[in-house]
Amino acid sequence: MKKILLIEDDLSYSRIIKNFLERNGYNVETADSVKNGLLEGKKEGVNLIITDFRLPDGTGLELLAQFKAFNKKLPVILITNYSDIGIAVKSMKMGAAEYITKPINPDELLLTVKEALEEEQIEKEQSKKAFGEENYIVGNSSDAQQIEKHIQLVAPTDLSVIILGETGTGKEYISKRIHQFSNRNQGPFVAVDCGTLSKDLAGSELFGHVKGAFTGANETTTGHFEAANGGTIFLDEVGNLDYESQIKLLRALEEKKIRKIGSTQEISIDVRILAATNENLQEQVKLGLFREDLYYRLNEFSIKALPLRKRKDDLMLFAEQFLLESCEKLNKEAKEFSKEVANKFLKYEWPGNLREMRNIVRRATLLENSNQITLGVLPDEITNKRSTGSSHQTVKALRQDEEKNVIQEILLANQYNKSKTAEQLGIDRKTLYNKMRKYGL
């Protein structure tokens, strides 16, 4: 029987979820705070963590960072209010298996739990199906056609490419498409989320280490670069790399050689580098947070992934693809969106972009009992939008307020210990200082 740890400070709500999951064959333990959650979560036998975002002594993001540092393979589901969609998207970047929004639908919860407990390979196959080679949607808009033209232009070369864009805009899938149409497509494609690499272990993760290189190095390991030899390595959120890792990355680019941590032997590598960021790297260069020589070495060509709010002509193509996949997975009959739903989709700002749309369509498909997706199964955030002309600045300001609140909460919980706060946020100290200056913290 799979063991689930539920971390929720609303005891009556916790009891309802616990009873429901236990009736469906799971063993559920509970905790009501970050402190107690960490104690219970690190006990042997826990297969899945479900945690509320807002807890009395911290946040779900703090727990997520701690659990991922303890065991990267331990799946974590974040429960959040819909107004915290930016936080939920951030949690996915930090390694959360999934997020669900309140009020929780029992069927959605059960489906999410089952998926989180499945083998990692199944999730990879589902991701490929949603955005990969087979069902990649180019789009009909002129901007989408321009992106595809750039992909086809740069793919056969060995140029390093930076893919720019907000979280959830499909930067990794653009990089996979570049790899698909490159001369390296028979070689490996290795994706690395630099935002989750700690300063202490980044070198080992990227380049490997030899046995005895440091405490806990019980065997020689292969790093991401060596694993990608002959193929492509994708460095997501590359702006989060610490300065020492930036130096090693620049050397690997220029000399095409790496050295495992603790080794004196150099290893020749043949790897094409694609990088992505939602940060302004030029601004980070000016602030001294990112090496200028590395920036220009990575930026031999750039592609900008567009947010959904700027892809109105293509938006329903994505929605229809997600609906098709959701119906197949959930064995449902919904075949189309009502005109009212389509209008709401086109007016909504989609701060979480493709990831948010996928979750909303999947949830709507689960709840809908007719052959058409109707307004009644959409979250209030979409149906209660008061203005069709909400500006991008308003949405951006909302996301920034959410980010500021999270940083402030974790700083306070850690008594302004910046190293600990950066580690729990999944960013490096320089990025944290940058954001603290930005938000006046």
d(C-alpha 432, C-alpha 419), whole Å = 9
Whether the ω angle into residue 156 lies within 30 degrees of 0, i.e. cis, is no
Which CATH number belongs to the domain containing residue 397 in this structure? 1.10.10
d(C-alpha 242, C-alpha 202), whole Å = 8
Query: What is the average per-residue pLDDT within 383-399?
Result: 49
Are both 179 and 272 inside the same structural domain?
yes
Query: What is the average per-residue pLDDT within 273-291?
Result: 90
Partner residues linked to 5 by β-bridges:
29, 49
Residue that wins the pLDDT comparison between 12 and 293: 293
d(C-alpha 280, C-alpha 231), whole Å = 27
Q: How confident is the model at residue 121 (pLDDT cuts 50, 70, 90)?
A: very low
d(C-alpha 375, C-alpha 432), whole Å = 40
77 near 97, Cβ under 8 Å?
yes
Are both 75 and 148 inside the same structural domain?
no
Residues 6+ apart with CB under 8 A from 132: 173, 176
Degrees, nearest 5: CA angle 68-36-109: 65
Are both 112 and 198 inside the same structural domain?
no
Are both 147 and 290 inside the same structural domain?
yes
d(C-alpha 359, C-alpha 97), whole Å = 13
Which CATH number belongs to the domain containing residue 39 in this structure? 3.40.50.2300
Are both 101 and 181 inside the same structural domain?
no
pLDDT per position as a tens digit, 211-265? 888 877 888 888 999 999 999 999 998 988 888 899 999 999 999 999 999 998 9
d(C-alpha 32, C-alpha 35), whole Å = 8
Query: What is the average per-residue pLDDT within 347-358?
Result: 86
Are both 102 and 161 inside the same structural domain?
no
Within a domain: 343: no
Mapping DSSP onto H, E and C, the string for 168-184 reads CCCHHHHHHHHHHCCCC
- From residue 111, how far is each of 12, 21, 24 by CA, in Å? 22, 11, 11
Query: What is the average per-residue pLDDT within 159-179?
Result: 91
Within a domain: 356: no
Residue 408 has what pLDDT? Answer: 76
Which CATH number belongs to the domain containing residue 177 in this structure? 3.40.50.300
Spacing of C-alpha 229 from chain mean position: 25
Are both 113 and 146 inside the same structural domain?
no
- From residue 374, how far is each of 9, 111, 219, 309, 382 by CA, in Å? 34, 21, 55, 21, 12
**End of a domain among 257, 286, 304?**
304
Partner residues linked to 163 by β-bridges:
276, 303
Within a domain: 325: no
Degrees, nearest 5: CA angle 86-174-292: 80
What global pTM score does this model have? 0.64
Q: How many CB atoms lie within 10 A of CB 31?
A: 22
Are both 164 and 42 inside the same structural domain?
no
Are both 157 and 292 inside the same structural domain?
yes
Are both 159 and 289 inside the same structural domain?
yes
How many domains is the chain partitioned into structurally? 3
Within a domain: 364: no
d(C-alpha 332, C-alpha 326), whole Å = 8
Picking from 265, 268, 244, 241, the residue whose alpha carbon sits closest to that of residue 257 is 268
Within a domain: 359: no
Picking from 395, 391, 393, 346, the residue whose alpha carbon sits closest to that of residue 85 is 395
- From residue 297, how far is each of 202, 234, 346 by CA, in Å? 20, 15, 39
DSSP letter at 195 equals G
Residue 419 has what pLDDT? Answer: 72
Within a domain: 265: yes
Are both 208 and 266 inside the same structural domain?
yes
**Which domain covers residue 402, as residue numbers?**
392-439
Within a domain: 310: no
Residues 6+ apart with CB under 8 A from 438: none
Within a domain: 276: yes
**End of a domain among 252, 282, 304?**
304
pLDDT per position as a tens digit, 304-338? 998 988 889 899 999 999 998 888 888 887 779 99
Are both 88 and 155 inside the same structural domain?
no
Q: How confident is the model at residue 440 (pLDDT cuts 50, 70, 90)?
A: confident
Structure tokens that stand for 88 in this block: 């939920």
77: helix, coil or strand?
Answer: strand
Query: What is the average per-residue pLDDT within 187-194?
Result: 90
